[in-house]
Amino acid sequence: MCGIVGLFLKDKSLEPQLGALLSEMLVTMTDRGPDSAGIAIYNAAAGNRGKITIQSPAAEADFAGLDKELGEKIGESVKMLAKSTHAVLDVPAAKLQEAREAVLELRPNVRIMGIGEAIEIYKEVGLPEDVADRFGLSGMSGTHAIGHTRMATESAVTTLGAHPFSTGPDQCLVHNGSLSNHSNVRRELIKKGMKFETENDTEVAAAYISSKMADGLNLGEALESSLNDLDGFFNFVVGTKNGFGVVRDPIACKPAVMAETDQYVAFGSEYRALANLPGIEQARVWEPEPSTVYFWEH
């Protein structure tokens, strides 16, 4: 079943409240996805700095001294902020890919959750409220964020199987639905050099969008393309460094609702996820149309 929430802020004064607002939205979707939960949160890019979000089931051992070792490996200053099973490594933007490869060499058991100038990704098995509390979501600030609560139907309940999936710099995708042709699409993407860590069809959707954008399409065009190439039923909510996009399949059988004010754009699988947002009484509220792409950008 799964639940999706998303919040794109237009009003910078709300940025310190982003995590708190998203946390409440996420928890309301618990009964749609009690198995695992995750969030992607975006901050304004620093320009010359980048972030690598990592995860380890043996965090205490894997994170110990990693910032110093990584700094020595890439010849640059590295900072690390650990949060439970995850940590965010702050490195020079020009060294992001080199640092990513070095992390995997130094700590083979560590998983890369996301990489980019603005994105941080946190996801784990457990109830959404517990996951949000574990990573201190309510205290986070940012410009936009996406969250997901998962009820597994086609693959195992694992940290890697939780959403969001990130397959490109500062990109992520969450999904409610099921793709019928994901195996064929996966094979074509592997031929193009894409790598996969799970059997989850959502990872295929994320990789499809990343591949199309790497080919030169913008997010809106990539989402339009997905309507022709991905079979099944789906709601996708996608984040980029500056943007926030939504698309529903032509059948549109999965629930979705959106709201927009002068302060924000919000998405929820159900209206109750939006009910406590500031100014919701005056918002324009609508159900996204089938086969229609919605996109906002800072």
Residue-wise pLDDT for 30-89, tens only, equals 999 999 999 999 998 777 999 999 999 999 999 999 999 999 999 999 999 999 999 999
**Residue 154 binned pLDDT confidence (cut-offs 50, 70, 90):** low
Q: What is the pTM of this model?
A: 0.95
Residues in the chain: 298
> CB count, 10 Å around CB of 150?
29
Residue 155 has pLDDT above 70, yes or no: no
- Indicate if 2 belongs to the active site: yes
pLDDT above 70 coverage of the chain, percent: 99
Condensed to tens digits (0 to 9), the pLDDT of residues 26-46 reads 999 999 999 999 999 999 877
Catalytic residue chosen out of the listed positions 1, 2, 121, 246: 2
* Alpha-carbon gap, residue 82 to 88, rounded angstroms: 6
pLDDT computed for residue 157 by the predictor:
83
Condensed to tens digits (0 to 9), the pLDDT of residues 177-228 reads 999 999 999 999 999 999 999 999 999 999 999 999 999 999 999 999 999 9
- Report yes or no: 258 and 294 within 8 Å, Cβ to Cβ: yes
